[in-house]
Amino acid sequence: MVPKVTKLNTQPQRRAEIDLGAVATSQLVTRLLNQLSEEADVYLVEWSAKSRVPHGAILAGREVAWTQHGIVRQKGGEVIGYYERLIDDLTKETQKMLVWVPPPQGRAPESGY
C-alpha cells in the first residue's frame, strides 16, 4: 500500500490545530507544527504495513527510501527531512509520522519569510 501523505501547513499564516484523537498527542503535534511550520513543509504520513519505513511516500517531490533515528532519506542517502513517530504499532500494521522537510537551499520558505 502506498503511504498517504497530507501536507499540514498549507496556510502558514494561520495557526494549526490538529486532531488525531488522543488529546495529549493532538496537543503535542499542534505545538510542534506551529513551532516548525514557518521554516519547513510539514507532512502527516500514514500507512498500513509491517515496515516502519513509509516506502514510496513522496515528500516535496522526493521519494522516501529510509527512515532511522529521526532522519528521512531518499535513495543515495540524501536527507529529505526529519520525523517524529505518532503511531508505531506493528501488530496492527498502523503507522503514522510527522515529517518536517526544510526548503531546499536557494528557495524561500512558503511562509514568505
pLDDT tens-digit series, residues 49-93: 888 999 999 999 999 999 999 999 999 999 999 999 988 877 778
- Summarised one tens digit per residue, pLDDT across range 25-49 is 667 766 666 655 567 788 999 999 8
Name the burial class of residue 38, with classes exposed (0-12), middle (13-18) and buried (19+) by CB atoms within 10 angstroms of its CB.
middle
pLDDT score of 81? 92
Judged against a pLDDT cut of 70, whether residue 112 lies above it is answered with no
pLDDT score of 74? 95
| Predicted TM-score of the model (pTM) | 0.69
What span, in angstroms and rounded, lies between the C-alpha atoms of 95 and 54? 8
